[in-house]
Chain A
Amino acid sequence: MAWTREDMAKRAALELIDGYYVNLGIGIPTLVANFIPDGVDVTLQSENGMLGMGPFPIEGEADPDLINAGKQTITELKRTSYFSSADSFGMIRGGHIDLSILGAMQVSEKGDLANWMIPGKMVKGMGGAMDLVAGVKKVVVIMDHNARDGSAKFIKECTLPLTGVRVVDMIISDVGVFTINDDGATLIELAPDMTVDDAKARTEATFKIGELLL
């Protein structure tokens, strides 16, 4: 059985380490905050200028001056600090954030990421994604393993405009978990009832099979 969006978010939460400063992207990555393991204390950064992001506000208490990078109303915590966009990206570009979890349209077997533009179709912009993948120490992608038409998203070379070159360290998809480093990509975990052959059939990228799956 393939992993659901929540399963992927739960798996991604296992990458959180006590004391980490973490930036969560919009969409499935935001769900990761719901599955932070007990005993693990992480501080969430929001690139619009906040460290120490709290939960959504209680009904009736939303503050228009307090939003996250997805423009959702949120709350502050005791540890919260606010700062400008320049300081925020100083943190990001300067390598002070430990982990970034974001979505993808395509990932190449070398770790190239495309997630911001479909030429002639989608004109939204990269927002902070290029800065995040360039500066954050570890980059984890959560994505559906295949596009809606069934085509592979984990491929040899990205065909869409890139967000960053050799920036992705890990992919968590409905199929399983892949790591990517200088030696290439490796399948290290499979979702329940998924087989290595399933993973191969749904992937264009070349990958090795991790020890635990052999």
Chain B
Amino acid sequence: MSKVYKGAEAALDGILFDGMTIMAGGFGLCGIPENLIAALRDSGKTEITAISNNAGVDDFGLGLLLQTRQIKKMISSYVGENKEFERQYLNDELELEFNPQGTMAERIRAGGAGIPGFYTKTGVGTLVAEGKEHKDFDGETFILETGLKADVSLVKAWKGDKEGNLIFKKTARNFNPMMATAGKTTVAEVEELVEVGELDPDHIHTPGIFVQRIIVSQGLEKRIEQLTTRPKSKGGA
């Protein structure tokens, strides 16, 4: 059975429904599955719970699905780049669950690894700890956090092969590998799709067992949020 699909629309066919939970990889706009997010928007599915570190910007990334009001709830660690998000939230039009970034990463890792819960010291004594089980280990207090899973995970990789083995590039890796493990169905978009055997098995970040469908990205924008450079002549940061 081939995992390779012709495009984002075909790759999402039959697995989307109203009220579903999705995960979308990326940190800011770096390493986001651009084609798959656009196809999810075009599907018109609503009441979506979206698990993603950020909410994109107003007109790109998951911000596209906020504009169209397809998202009911976000689970994120930081949404400061999105004014529409802030507006919808302050007007009670959007549910929001903030997770500390490391807790969120670990919840997704746990979800994919069959671990229903784990204890962490992150957030003890803060709003994040309210209503959660507290437990002491060696005189220090920890809180119970639960694993996260999704109906569909949308991830972005640099290279992939037709078995779904993935290699990520630089800081575009971020949440993508854990999300790939935590989706009932994981769909990957890659910049370069190669034949099985062309990737060095020792260099594969995500084994193909975690990826059910794969496409080649078309017309990636790869937008930069904060372009910061130094002049050619001078050194220093």
The answer to whether A65 and B231 have CB atoms under 8 Å apart is: no
Mask: chain A, 146-174; 1 = CB below 8 Å from B; 0 = not:
00000000000000011111000000000
Cα distance, A84 to B172, chains bound together (Å): 9
Closest A residue by C-beta to B221: A64
B33 to chain A, nearest CB (A): 14
The answer to whether B89 and A123 have CB atoms under 8 Å apart is: yes
The answer to whether B77 and A73 have CB atoms under 8 Å apart is: no
The answer to whether A66 and B170 have CB atoms under 8 Å apart is: yes
Report B-chain residues with C-beta under 8 Å of the C-beta of A49: 27, 171, 173-174
A63 at the interface (CB under 8 A from B): yes
B160 at the interface (CB under 8 A from A): no
On chain B, the number of residues with a Cβ less than 8 Å from chain A's Cβ atoms is 63
The answer to whether B171 and A123 have CB atoms under 8 Å apart is: no
The answer to whether A131 and B30 have CB atoms under 8 Å apart is: no
B80 at the interface (CB under 8 A from A): yes
- CB contact under 8 A between A56 and B228, given known A64-B222, A125-B98: yes
- The residue that B120 contacts in the complex, of A62, A69, A93, with Cβ under 8 A, is A93
Report B-chain residues with C-beta under 8 Å of the C-beta of A195: none
A70 at the interface (CB under 8 A from B): yes
Identify the stretch in B7-15, B42-50, B101-109, B196-204 within 8 Å (CB) of chain A at 4 or more residues: B101-109
- CB contact under 8 A between A48 and B229, given known A64-B30, A85-B27: no
The answer to whether B228 and A125 have CB atoms under 8 Å apart is: no
CB-contacts of B72-97 with A (<8 A): 76-81, 85-86, 89-90, 96
Interface centre among B78, B85, B89 (most CB of A within 10 A): B78
The answer to whether B236 and A55 have CB atoms under 8 Å apart is: yes
The answer to whether B122 and A48 have CB atoms under 8 Å apart is: no
Cα distance, A71 to B237, chains bound together (Å): 15
- CB contact under 8 A between A67 and B28, given known A59-B230, A127-B78, A164-B126: yes
A47 to chain B, nearest CB (A): 7
Interface centre among B128, B171, B229, B232 (most CB of A within 10 A): B171
The answer to whether A85 and B30 have CB atoms under 8 Å apart is: no
On chain A, the number of residues with a Cβ less than 8 Å from chain B's Cβ atoms is 57
A167 to chain B, nearest CB (A): 9
Report B-chain residues with C-beta under 8 Å of the C-beta of A46: 171
A134 at the interface (CB under 8 A from B): yes
Report A-chain residues with C-beta under 8 Å of the C-beta of B232: 58-59
The answer to whether B122 and A65 have CB atoms under 8 Å apart is: no
B175 at the interface (CB under 8 A from A): yes
Closest A residue by C-beta to B121: A134
The answer to whether B174 and A85 have CB atoms under 8 Å apart is: yes
The answer to whether A59 and B229 have CB atoms under 8 Å apart is: yes
Closest A residue by C-beta to B181: A86
Mask: chain B, 108-137; 1 = CB below 8 Å from A; 0 = not:
110000000000111111111000000000
B87 to chain A, nearest CB (A): 10
The answer to whether A67 and B124 have CB atoms under 8 Å apart is: no
Closest B residue by C-beta to A131: B102
Cα distance, A26 to B225, chains bound together (Å): 14
B114 to chain A, nearest CB (A): 15
Cα distance, A123 to B177, chains bound together (Å): 28
B208 at the interface (CB under 8 A from A): no
CB-contacts of A114-156 with B (<8 A): 117, 120, 123-131, 134-135
The answer to whether A89 and B101 have CB atoms under 8 Å apart is: yes
The answer to whether B101 and A84 have CB atoms under 8 Å apart is: no
- CB contact under 8 A between A67 and B27, given known A85-B178, A123-B89, A123-B96: yes
Report A-chain residues with C-beta under 8 Å of the C-beta of B168: 82
Residues of A within 8 A of B (CB): 33-34, 46-50, 54-74, 76, 82-86, 88-89, 92-93, 112, 117, 120, 123-131, 134-135, 161-165
Given contacts A71-B225, A127-B77, 5 further A-B contacts (CB under 8 A): A64-B222, A67-B27, A82-B168, A84-B178, A131-B122
